[in-house]
């Protein structure tokens, strides 16, 4: 139960971190490799403190990690939670897709039964 609660809290943090376009752009940039905060800030017309704020949200959501090197604390992607979130959305789709797989099989079965009944009734093949 505790595990489940933690997972959903984690997902909430992931989703709200992803809600912001700047943060998504930061993640996209980090996908090509780790980089410094000033390099990250470059393409955005934003102050360093504003970028730092975004990084903190991403870090709290577990989406990025900061290196320990004192001067140059590079940012890198920590994709675990991101994968959980995308897995979860996939799960929602999969719920329906799998139900439709079963419906497909079931409809085939029903039609087979129906054909047999008709054959029996008419005493000949359809």
Token readout for 62 is 């577990």
Q: How many residues does the chain have?
A: 126
Q: Which CB sits closer to other proteins, 38 or 111?
A: 111
Token readout for 88 is 């979860």
Stretch binding other proteins (CB under 8 A), from 20-28, 36-44, 54-62, 66-74? 20-28
Token readout for 58 is 């991403």
Q: Which of 56, 60, 73, 83 binds other proteins (CB under 8 A)?
A: 83
Q: How far is CA 44 from CA 9, 11, 63, 113, in A?
A: 30, 27, 19, 64
Stretch binding other proteins (CB under 8 A), from 15-23, 39-47, 54-62, 117-125? 15-23
Q: Which of 49, 70, 93, 124 binds other proteins (CB under 8 A)?
A: 93
């Amino acid at each position: 139960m505790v595990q489940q609660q933690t997972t959903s809290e984690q997902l909430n943090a992931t989703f709200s971190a992803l809600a912001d376009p700047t943060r998504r752009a930061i993640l996209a940039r980090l996908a090509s490799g780790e980089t410094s905060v000033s390099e990250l800030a470059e393409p955005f017309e934003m102050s360093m403190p504003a970028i730092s704020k975004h990084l903190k949200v991403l870090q709290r959501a577990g989406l990025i990690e900061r290196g320990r090197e004192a001067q140059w604390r590079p940012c890198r992607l920590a994709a675990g939670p991101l994968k959980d979130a995308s897995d979860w959305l996939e799960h929602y789709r999969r719920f329906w897709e799998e139900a439709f797989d079963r419906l497909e099989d079931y409809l085939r079965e029903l039609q087979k039964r129906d054909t047999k009944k008709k054959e029996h009734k008419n005493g000949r093949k359809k």
